[in-house]
Amino acid sequence: MAREIKCIGVMTSGGDAPGMNAAIRAVARACAYYNVRCIGFYRGFQGMIEGDYIDLDARSVRNIISRGGTILKSARSKEFRTKEGREKAANHIKEIGVDAMILIGGDGTFKGGKVFYEEFGIPVIGVPGTIDNDIAGTNFTIGYDTALNTVIDAIDKIRDTASSHDRLFFVEVMGRDAGFIALNSGVGAGAEEILIPEEDLGLDRLLESLRRSKRSGKSSSIVVVSEGDKIGKNVYELADYVTENLPDYDVRVTVLGHMQRGGSPTCFDRTLASRLCVNAVELLLDGHKNIMVGLINNNVAYTSFEEGLKEGHGINKELLRISDILST
């Protein structure tokens, strides 16, 4: 039988994502609603290890729903990968009186949570917060939609100058292991080509595609490249290669970088964070644990950590096809 939950802890971990504050707010407000104490730990697992925390009541999360970043800060903790580190965390949590934890982060965070639950029996629920969208147990992670819009805003600006000067731009976006951001922002920005880790387009096909673009009357082009693209060259090498082989093109490179992690979250990310976190609190109160919550077919659903981490839901290959047709 589930121990009664009187105090819930919350933290944000891994790469930060827009909407993490909306998530923290939802945890704190749902706790207040159900008369449960809410404790926020700073810098993810590290704050649990160090006992670095703050009490969160309904008013202390006022007006943060619209803010990027995370008021609880985030970090990757090496110490938590050791048994000693996790033991310190468990001890602090018990001392403070925290009965269960909500972990907001990506797959690394969930793996940590799973081990932590297995070792110490502290109920844990994971909420997917990462711009990378690479978590199997949800169709969308918190922060992903905002990152997409940050990327297309930047590419729209780059398109302005690309068109004015008849240039070809390579734009590198985040996504070391997954091409979600590149693929969706590429379609949204109307990119001529999209290079992602999941598909090896090959250099020859890229050159051919760019030649065809030129022939079809396009004077400027955008190629969106995922960090972890399979083509085996980084974005600057790619640009050099194309310059050598297609001297007609005036080539430039932009690496969008960390601005993709910030900014005021979109309505989608705020609403997603709100729904998932209210449900996470309620699931803990109902005795659930060792699961992640996610949005599946527009409904909140939960999955065991095992399932949720199994393998990422694949990218939508249909979008590659759409992109091909639309770059006609």
Residues serving a catalytic function are 132
- Min dist CB 252 to a second copy, Å, is 6
From CA 290, how far away is CA 302, in angstroms rounded? 10
- Tell which positions 17-56 bind a second copy, by CB under 8 A: 18, 20, 25-26, 29-30, 32-33
- Min dist CB 61 to a second copy, Å, is 10
- Tell which positions 183-202 bind a second copy, by CB under 8 A: 184-185, 187-190
What six digits make up the tokens of 45?
């697992």
Q: Does 204 bind a second copy (CB under 8 A)?
A: no
- Min dist CB 275 to a second copy, Å, is 6
Burial zone of 111 (CB within 10 Å; 0-12 exposed, 13-18 middle, 19+ buried):
middle
Give the binding range for a second copy (CB under 8 A) out of 59-67, 84-92, 95-103, 285-293: 59-67
Within 8 A by CB and 6+ apart from 147, the residues are 17, 18, 131, 174, 181, 185, 260, 261
Give the binding range for a second copy (CB under 8 A) out of 95-103, 164-172, 234-242, 284-292: 164-172
In the DSSP assignment, the letter for residue 264 is P
Q: Does 215 bind a second copy (CB under 8 A)?
A: no
- Min dist CB 254 to a second copy, Å, is 4
Task: Tell me whether residue 176 is annotated as binding.
Answer: yes
Asked if residue 276 lies in contact with residue 295, where contact means CB atoms within 8 angstroms, the answer is yes
Binding test (CB under 8 A) with a second copy, winner from 134, 145, 192, 193 = 145
Binding test (CB under 8 A) with a second copy, winner from 7, 96, 246, 255 = 255
Give the binding range for a second copy (CB under 8 A) out of 1-9, 60-68, 108-116, 196-204: 60-68
- Tell which positions 121-140 bind a second copy, by CB under 8 A: 139
* 226 HSE (CA, 13 A, CB side): 27
Q: Does 234 bind a second copy (CB under 8 A)?
A: no
Asked if residue 163 lies in contact with residue 217, where contact means CB atoms within 8 angstroms, the answer is no
Residue in the block written with tokens 């933290």 = 11
* CB-nearer residue toward a second copy: 94 or 176: 176
Binding test (CB under 8 A) with a second copy, winner from 65, 100, 225, 292 = 65
Nearest to 131 by CA among 299, 256, 305, 43: 256
In this structure, the strands spanning 167-173 and 100-105 are unpaired
* CB-nearer residue toward a second copy: 70 or 109: 70
Q: Does 266 bind a second copy (CB under 8 A)?
A: yes
Paired with 171 in beta bridges are: 224, 254
* CB-nearer residue toward a second copy: 243 or 271: 271
Question: Which DSSP helix (H) or strand (E) runs through 153?
Answer: helix 144-165
Burial track 173-192 (b if 16+ CB lie within 10 A, e otherwise) = bbbeebbbbbbbbbbbbebb
Residue 167 CB neighbours (<10 A): 17
- Min dist CB 178 to a second copy, Å, is 16
Asked if residue 137 lies in contact with residue 292, where contact means CB atoms within 8 angstroms, the answer is yes
What six digits make up the tokens of 172?
């590198």
Give the binding range for a second copy (CB under 8 A) out of 108-116, 117-125, 238-246, 272-280: 272-280
Please count the residues of this chain forming the interface with a second copy, following the rule CB under 8 A.
83
Q: Does 257 bind a second copy (CB under 8 A)?
A: yes
Residue list, annotated binding site for Mg(2+): 107
Residue list, annotated binding site: 15, 25-29, 76-77, 106-109, 130-132, 159, 167, 174-176, 190-192, 218-220, 227, 252, 258-261
